Chain A
Amino acid sequence: MKILKYIFKRILQTIPLLIIVSIISFFIIRLSPVDPLAELRLNPSVSQETLQKEAERLGLDKPVIVQYGLWAKSFLKGDLGITSNGEKVSVKLKERIPNTLLLTVVVIFLTWIVGIPLGILAALKWKSPFDRILTVLTSIGMAIPSFFFAVLLLIFAVRTGWFPVGGLTSPNFADMGLISQIKDIAHHLFLPVTVLFTISLAGLQRQMRANMLDVLDSDYVKFARAKGLSEFKVIYKHALRNAVNPLITLLGFEFAGLLSGAALTEYVFQYPGLGRLILEAVLKSDINLVMASLMMGAAMLIAGNLLADILLIITDPRVKT
């Protein structure tokens, strides 16, 4: 019950936050000198009437405050509005969200499945050759910029022909059987996943290793060992539970990055996710689309933090609501 009340309170707190985020982003976009009609204005075959009609359709003829009011009103009703091309924003987002989720969920799943055990192992074999090799490799992983690494892998794909150059499915995807479809997607996902995996794995492994080392050095672990508990019990029952706590906060951030974290890699690999959509929207000052994605990003971040806090309450009795 207490926890429900806590959640409710937190959700209430997010409302003013979202309002401020929306106001700031709306005004920044509208006050930036990007004119959504500039291209049309310089097109010799576009008439003055068409320009005016376009300005009216996009609401550009009204003051910014009024534009914001109109946007906020329809947003509250759950209507995300239309893009500057007249398509529904919600439909556009719906097309892309599953693709982005597929990529990020696979990456997060892999990183945690691999990163946590590697971190524990490295901590247990502290200063052994295994630990040192891992240290070197993770440092490399952390040092490579994701953009550069993605481009490198793309060139690799072109030169060897082993992997498709970007995208998510092959042109004849629709005619394939289910198994070949899954294979096809896996084939396309391999390179972008490799990039994101390498980079986030390094961070997670280092974090886990450091936490574990901290805990292993603490008094209660020494006490447990002195008590004669088996090494297995010491590590997995006592040390691990405490070492994992800080990672839960990290998980909250991972959740926030589910939709936006892979934008750069998506762009390089021409992955049909949200990244490309939003980038083009920003360049064209497609206000409804940009606002929808910004609000989504803000909501995800808040939800991620909330999720992490709740998980912390569950795993760590010391944290009080």
Chain B
Amino acid sequence: MYVILAIIIILGLLKACIRQDKPLEDTYKPLSETRKEIIYPEDHKNITINGIDYIQSQAPIGKFGGTLTSSTIGEGPKTFNPFNSKDNISSTLSEIMYDGLLTTHPVTGQPIPKLAKSFTISDNGKEYTIKLRHGIKWSDGKPITADDVVFTWKDIILAGLGNTSTRDSIIIDGKLPEVYKIDDYTVKFITPEPFAPFIRMLSSPIAPKHIFGPAAKKGAKYFDTFLSTNTKPEDFVVSGAFKIKEYVPAQRVVYERNPNYYFINKNNEKLPYLDRLVYLIVGDLNNEVLKFEAKELDIINLQGSKVARYKAMEPHSDFVIYNLGPNTGTMYLAMNLNNRKNNEGKYYVNPVKQSWFNDINFRKAADYAVDRTNIVLNIANGIGEPLFTAESLNSIFLNKDLKPYERDLNKSKELLKESGFYWDKQGRLFDKNKNRVEFDLLTNAGNTEREAIGVMIKQDLEDLGMKVNFKPIEFNSLVNKLVNTLDWDMVIMGFTGSPLEPNGGKNVMMSDGTLHVYNMRLEKDKNSPRYDFEKRIDELFINGALATKFEDRKKYYDEYQKIIYEEKPFIYIYSPTIIVAIRDKFKNIFPTSLGGVIYNIEEIYVCEGPENSEIKSDNPSGER
């Protein structure tokens, strides 16, 4: 039997080889060509039929039925309670079921109504009046009213049940916003001060009071276990397009359509089109790729190294590749600008090195020496964009006036000379006090991308005659150095930001922030002197949060980006580009950089060719 097995395997592999043996030509197309021209439908409209305020989708009318299978990487959700989730996977999987009052416009990024019919903000920027839709229902048929909204905010979010990150982010000077019920379909929020980021928080899910109420009364400890992954699917009452049907640990989560959903198409038929939405839980990236190739998955995020191969396969395959543009990640190189002493009276940073890092010419010289184009080409396989700004490239607050530039070693050398640095005969760099320029460059070991970047930056900086000791160290030790012991010279790290709300980065940018990496202040140093540019950024962040009009806020955040761009406490490197492949049988796909590919899950439908017919899931007997 082994002989047979061996022969089968060999044949299978041979077959695979033959299929794979096509020459991978024209794989190095410039990225911009992969971007598809997408014609977006008009915005949704509010339509009232028989006293019920529906949202009408303006996308082309599709066919009902079918399944979309997506995936999550890791061990799967930890909870299906959207107020408890502390990880991305749990949030994604639970928020499918619970809509918020508002949502984000997928193209412009502005807040638009969802469960709410409309919203207004008072002129003083403190009062938010939300009108709810009449006649819309939870999945069990009970109406969605102001009571649910007030309950969700008062008794869950503001009471600090579950994950308190929403609550933490809206405490203004120690005070919380208040929420009032005006009538059954009107709710008013009042913030103690004008606080622009608050509007984004109105996208938080709304919970059905008749289900969550009893749980909230039993206290925080009980609430933490409420709607855990062991809850029976029948016990969920939802407002979203899909409701959980089955959760199989470490395998998948299956959702079925919510018949009471309040979206309709142009024929006034209730959406979503799809019968089912399936998330497979896969352990790692490689398995995800295998599952996509075996057609068990319909959609996949492609890593840079895979894009070229998929691009070559695309013309004779059943999937389409979309380029969603740069992601929200900001990879940076930072120098330790700390000039204080630790408890033992020793400087965190060697004073000789301090004099270099605090020298703007030195930072600029390093910046001009970094070859971002080369890094994007070699590390991200060309699937990325050089980055120069503190806000990510898809941010709606991005300062577009800050122009990218190329590597310029001559400029670097001029800047160094200006500050008194000089080179000896072997081209080694010394400062004006005859100290050899030598420092450590850290990053976290195990992250192959950052390690590779480190090697390239080390070479780039050594072209200036600096001696760079590149040391990838274990993640936890690195975090400890960055936030506690502060004894580091230069580091390569990354943060993920929000493309919608720069205020989320205040812990990094403000001078007393808990992640103010480049000049971290411990508790005892909270009142130590600030650099001028730090002071200005602090002001800008405070004003940016208080201003309510987008245009006014944009001015503040533009200026902060300009300061970072000029002062270079962070030297940004690049953002990877998101590339997604999805089966071409799915229609109404309008990918955006902010929303992704399946943000409009209720509008997506399946247009099956004859070859896809076996995937139909509405087969009542269930036989494959």
Residues of B within 8 Å of A96, CB to CB, are 249-250
B294–A171 touching, CB < 8 Å? no
Residues of A within 8 Å of B282, CB to CB, are 166, 270
Instruction: Confirm or deny: A219 has a beta carbon within 8 angstroms of a beta carbon on chain B.
Output: no
Residues of B within 8 Å of A158, CB to CB, are 290, 293-294
B283–A270 touching, CB < 8 Å? yes
Q: Which among B74, B280, B508 has the greatest number of chain A C-beta atoms within 10 A?
A: B280
**Contact flags (1/0) for A134-165 with B, using CB distance below 8 Å?**
00010011000000000011111111110011
| A100 CB to nearest chain B CB (Å) | 11
A180 to B480, CA, bound (A): 54
A173 to B622, CA, bound (A): 8
Instruction: Confirm or deny: B79 has a beta carbon within 8 angstroms of a beta carbon on chain A.
Output: yes
| B484 CB to nearest chain A CB (Å) | 9
Residues of A within 8 Å of B479, CB to CB, are 35, 38, 41-42
Given contacts A33-B474, A164-B296, A270-B283, whether A156 and B250 have CB atoms under 8 Å apart is: no
A194 to B6, CA, bound (A): 12
Given contacts A33-B474, A160-B12, A272-B250, whether A86 and B225 have CB atoms under 8 Å apart is: yes
B483 interface neighbour in A41, A137, A277, Cβ under 8 Å: A41
Residues of A within 8 Å of B248, CB to CB, are 169, 173, 272
**Contact flags (1/0) for B1-13 with A, using CB distance below 8 Å?**
0110100110011
Chain A's closest residue to B20 (CB) is: A159
Residues of A within 8 Å of B249, CB to CB, are 92, 95-96, 272
Instruction: Confirm or deny: B440 has a beta carbon within 8 angstroms of a beta carbon on chain A.
Output: no
A46–B290 touching, CB < 8 Å? no
Identify the stretch in B104-112, B129-137, B164-172, B554-562 within 8 Å (CB) of chain A at 4 or more residues: B164-172
B16–A159 touching, CB < 8 Å? yes
B476 interface neighbour in A34, A46, A172, A273, Cβ under 8 Å: A34
**Contact flags (1/0) for A248-280 with B, using CB distance below 8 Å?**
000000000000000000010010110011001
Taking CB atoms and an 8 Å cut-off, the chain A residues in 15-54 that contact chain B are 33-35, 38, 41-42, 44-50
Instruction: Confirm or deny: B477 has a beta carbon within 8 angstroms of a beta carbon on chain A.
Output: yes
| B513 CB to nearest chain A CB (Å) | 8
Instruction: Confirm or deny: A174 has a beta carbon within 8 angstroms of a beta carbon on chain B.
Output: yes
Instruction: Confirm or deny: B393 has a beta carbon within 8 angstroms of a beta carbon on chain A.
Output: no
| A161 CB to nearest chain B CB (Å) | 6
B495 interface neighbour in A44, A164, A166, A280, Cβ under 8 Å: A44
Chain B's closest residue to A171 (CB) is: B278
A272 to B249, CA, bound (A): 7
A86–B165 touching, CB < 8 Å? no
Instruction: Confirm or deny: B624 has a beta carbon within 8 angstroms of a beta carbon on chain A.
Output: yes
A168 to B248, CA, bound (A): 10
Taking CB atoms and an 8 Å cut-off, the chain B residues in 230-288 that contact chain A are 230, 245-246, 248-252, 254, 276, 278, 280, 282-283, 287
Instruction: Confirm or deny: B229 has a beta carbon within 8 angstroms of a beta carbon on chain A.
Output: yes
| A41 CB to nearest chain B CB (Å) | 5
A168 to B505, CA, bound (A): 42
Taking CB atoms and an 8 Å cut-off, the chain B residues in 215-238 that contact chain A are 224-225, 228-230
A277–B474 touching, CB < 8 Å? no
A164–B294 touching, CB < 8 Å? yes
Residues of B within 8 Å of A184, CB to CB, are 624
A175 to B474, CA, bound (A): 47
A266 to B224, CA, bound (A): 31
B254 interface neighbour in A137, A165, A174, Cβ under 8 Å: A174
| B507 CB to nearest chain A CB (Å) | 5
Residues of B within 8 Å of A176, CB to CB, are 622-623
B278–A46 touching, CB < 8 Å? no
Instruction: Confirm or deny: B316 has a beta carbon within 8 angstroms of a beta carbon on chain A.
Output: no
Given contacts A171-B252, A177-B622, A270-B287, whether A38 and B475 have CB atoms under 8 Å apart is: yes
Residues of A within 8 Å of B251, CB to CB, are 167-169, 272
A180–B623 touching, CB < 8 Å? yes
Given contacts A44-B515, A175-B622, A267-B283, whether A33 and B67 have CB atoms under 8 Å apart is: no
B290–A154 touching, CB < 8 Å? yes
A170 to B617, CA, bound (A): 12
Instruction: Confirm or deny: A87 has a beta carbon within 8 angstroms of a beta carbon on chain B.
Output: yes
Instruction: Confirm or deny: A85 has a beta carbon within 8 angstroms of a beta carbon on chain B.
Output: yes
B78–A171 touching, CB < 8 Å? no
Instruction: Confirm or deny: B75 has a beta carbon within 8 angstroms of a beta carbon on chain A.
Output: yes
Q: Which among B245, B251, B276, B497 has the greatest number of chain A C-beta atoms within 10 A?
A: B251
A277 interface neighbour in B75, B225, B246, B290, Cβ under 8 Å: B75
B250 interface neighbour in A33, A164, A277, Cβ under 8 Å: A277
Count the B residues whose beta carbon is within 8 Å of the partner chain — how many? 72
**Contact flags (1/0) for B502-535 with A, using CB distance below 8 Å?**
0011111000011100000000000000000000
Instruction: Confirm or deny: A12 has a beta carbon within 8 angstroms of a beta carbon on chain B.
Output: no
Residues of A within 8 Å of B583, CB to CB, are none
**Contact flags (1/0) for A88-120 with B, using CB distance below 8 Å?**
000110011000000000000000000000000
A137 to B5, CA, bound (A): 11
Residues of B within 8 Å of A165, CB to CB, are 287, 290-291, 294, 296
Residues of B within 8 Å of A85, CB to CB, are 78-79, 86-87
B2–A170 touching, CB < 8 Å? no
A82 to B50, CA, bound (A): 50
Residues of A within 8 Å of B230, CB to CB, are 87, 91
Instruction: Confirm or deny: B15 has a beta carbon within 8 angstroms of a beta carbon on chain A.
Output: yes
Residues of A within 8 Å of B290, CB to CB, are 154-155, 158, 165-166
A289 to B506, CA, bound (A): 35
| A221 CB to nearest chain B CB (Å) | 31
Given contacts A41-B479, A44-B507, whether A50 and B287 have CB atoms under 8 Å apart is: no
Taking CB atoms and an 8 Å cut-off, the chain B residues in 116-134 that contact chain A are none
| A245 CB to nearest chain B CB (Å) | 28
Q: Which among A35, A95, A171 has the greatest number of chain B C-beta atoms within 10 A?
A: A171
B15 interface neighbour in A38, A47, A86, A160, Cβ under 8 Å: A160
Residues of A within 8 Å of B168, CB to CB, are 47, 49-50
Taking CB atoms and an 8 Å cut-off, the chain A residues in 171-228 that contact chain B are 171-177, 180, 184, 194, 198
Given contacts A33-B474, A42-B479, whether A159 and B296 have CB atoms under 8 Å apart is: no
Residues of A within 8 Å of B22, CB to CB, are none
A164 to B504, CA, bound (A): 43
Chain B's closest residue to A85 (CB) is: B78
| A94 CB to nearest chain B CB (Å) | 10
A155–B16 touching, CB < 8 Å? yes
| B293 CB to nearest chain A CB (Å) | 5
A267 to B228, CA, bound (A): 25
B476–A38 touching, CB < 8 Å? yes
A170 to B282, CA, bound (A): 14
Chain A's closest residue to B16 (CB) is: A159
Residues of A within 8 Å of B229, CB to CB, are 87
| B426 CB to nearest chain A CB (Å) | 39
Residues of B within 8 Å of A168, CB to CB, are 251
B291 interface neighbour in A92, A166, A172, Cβ under 8 Å: A166
B2–A140 touching, CB < 8 Å? yes
Chain B's closest residue to A137 (CB) is: B2
Residues of B within 8 Å of A173, CB to CB, are 248
Residues of B within 8 A of A (CB): 2-3, 5, 8-9, 12-13, 15-16, 19, 67, 69, 74-75, 78-79, 84, 86-87, 164-165, 168-169, 224-225, 228-230, 245-246, 248-252, 254, 276, 278, 280, 282-283, 287, 290-291, 293-296, 474-477, 479-480, 482-483, 493, 495, 497, 504-508, 513-515, 617, 621-624
19 other A-B residue contacts (CB within 8 Å) besides A166-B291, A174-B245: A35-B476, A41-B479, A42-B493, A44-B504, A44-B506, A45-B507, A47-B514, A50-B165, A50-B168, A86-B84, A161-B295, A167-B251, A169-B251, A171-B617, A172-B617, A173-B248, A270-B282, A270-B283, A272-B248
3 tightest Cβ-Cβ pairs between the two chains A and B: A175-B622, A272-B250, A159-B16
A-B contact pairs, 26 of them (CB 8 A): A44-B497, A45-B169, A47-B514, A48-B514, A49-B168, A50-B168, A86-B78, A87-B230, A95-B249, A96-B249, A96-B250, A137-B2, A154-B290, A156-B8, A156-B9, A165-B287, A165-B294, A165-B296, A166-B282, A166-B291, A170-B624, A172-B624, A176-B623, A177-B621, A198-B2, A270-B282
